Amino acid sequence: MQKKTGILTSSILLGGFALAQFPETVTAKVSEVAEKNVVQEMVNQLSLEKYKATIKELTKFGDRRQGTERNRDALDWIEAELKSFGYTNTRRHSYEFPTKQVLPRRRQILQPGYAVGGGRQRGWKAPTGVTRNPSAQKDKHLRKLNTPQSEPGLREQVYCTKIGTTRPQEMYIVGAHMDGIGWGEAANDDGSGTALVMELARVFADPRIQTECSVRFVLWNNEESGLNGSRAYVHDRAALQGIEDPPGSGNFPEPKWLGMIQHDMMLFDHGMPRKDGTLNPEQRLEADVNIEFQMESKFSLQSQKLAWAFQRANERYATDYPATVGSHMTNTDSASFMDAVASISLRENERGTQVGNGWSPHWHQPSDLYSTYSDKDFQLGLNAAQTTLAAVAKLAGAGI
């Protein structure tokens, strides 16, 4: 009888959230439900139509090549969008390019048969490269738009920050690069990642949602010239981490980095090219989101832990496509952070052995156009957005 009374008391108390009364397993289940509701509600704010619409807007600026007017116009548009979501703290980080900064760059010595990033190449390797021939772009309007070439000088990249309520001095960084190359629209590389970051910024901007720590949304510039925008950011801002400025203000211009999550090429996983160079015309049924960390980085253990947290978030919240964790992160802006903080990248394929072997045939090509991709392709990008949104919401302690 006593036992029964106990259960009755507990279920009445449940309404008042007197969870201390419950055995640990029940408490864990209840808090899981509470977390799921907030995270799920945030994930529900994403939609294929909104994600596609943002990519489409970005492609209006052509390839958005760094050091051109079309790149600066795209940056202005991105900043205006972030402001329209409600952010009053959009900022621009500026630097000169070409740069004289002396941030050490790791040189990778490749073994024969191994790809950049450290993975061993297997299977058929189709040729890849950057299209530099204007006449390869058959669309006259796009060819004209992409004609002005990059000029040296001032560069800018934009970010906004969701300020944490209990730990504003710490943050996760969610990034993608807004510049592109190759005489197309840079729709996949990296309009798809840029739109993902903007969509997450929109969801986190909701004033009803609060996070314990801060989350910064950054759109890097100069990725295609050698990660120069993110490298300049690390060079200029690493030493500012966690400093309250002015002292006593509660204002932290550069909260301490907890993790850096990069998104670069999110749409196209049609499998390995065939020997005649052709590919499966449809998204392959086994398509996945590739989450990579770099085994040869100072923060490999922390990065690996972060990668698995993302894999778990994908398992629970991504609607269609699973995630795979790999250890060969390379050639994207998270590499600029990997010796300073836990760093991962999300991508359609593994960068080294897959993208590098020709699995992404529109990579740096005039065919990287919005019209090239189908809804099944865009859906893979949306699944990556669901993954990062859920993982970051959980890590940052999101609540309503």
Binding site for Zn ion (CB under 5 A): 189-190, 264
Name which of 264 and 288 has its Cβ closer to Zn ion: 264
Report the nearest approach of Zn ion to the CB of residue 196 (Å). 13
Give whole-number Cα distances, 270 to 129, 280, 361, 373, 374, in Å.
19, 6, 10, 11, 12
Name which of 190 and 199 has its Cβ closer to Zn ion: 190
Q: Report how far residue 397's alpha carbon sits from residue 400's, in angstroms, rounded to the nearest whole number.
A: 10
Name which of 161 and 388 has its Cβ closer to Zn ion: 388
Report the nearest approach of Zn ion to the CB of residue 193 (Å). 7
Coil vs helix vs strand at 312:
helix
Quote the distance between the C-alpha of residue 37 and its chain's center. Answer: 23
Cβ neighbourhood burial of 277 (10 Å; 0-12, 13-18, 19+):
exposed
Amino acid letter for position 199? E
Q: Report how far residue 47's alpha carbon sits from residue 124's, in angstroms, rounded to the nearest whole number.
A: 36
Report the nearest approach of Zn ion to the CB of residue 186 (Å). 8
Cβ neighbourhood burial of 324 (10 Å; 0-12, 13-18, 19+):
middle
Q: Report how far residue 237's alpha carbon sits from residue 260's, in angstroms, rounded to the nearest whole number.
A: 14
**Among 376, 398, 387, 326, CA closest to 115:** 326
Q: Report how far residue 192's alpha carbon sits from residue 291's, in angstroms, rounded to the nearest whole number.
A: 16
Report the nearest approach of Zn ion to the CB of residue 359 (Å). 14
Report the nearest approach of Zn ion to the CB of residue 268 (Å). 12
Report the nearest approach of Zn ion to the CB of residue 120 (Å). 23
Name which of 213 and 369 has its Cβ closer to Zn ion: 369
Count of other CB atoms within 10 angstroms of residue 257: 21
Strand-pair category, 167-177 with 153-162: unpaired
**Among 40, 21, 19, CA closest to 31:** 19
Name which of 189 and 377 has its Cβ closer to Zn ion: 189
Report the nearest approach of Zn ion to the CB of residue 155 (Å). 16
Report the nearest approach of Zn ion to the CB of residue 56 (Å). 18
Tokens of 227: 């990660």
Name which of 335 and 392 has its Cβ closer to Zn ion: 335
Q: Report how far residue 398's alpha carbon sits from residue 314's, in angstroms, rounded to the nearest whole number.
A: 17
Name which of 164 and 229 has its Cβ closer to Zn ion: 229
Name which of 137 and 330 has its Cβ closer to Zn ion: 330
Sheet with 153-162: strands ordered across: 91-97, 153-162, 213-220, 167-177, 256-263, 343-347, 289-292, 323-326
Name which of 263 and 270 has its Cβ closer to Zn ion: 263
Report the nearest approach of Zn ion to the CB of residue 345 (Å). 10
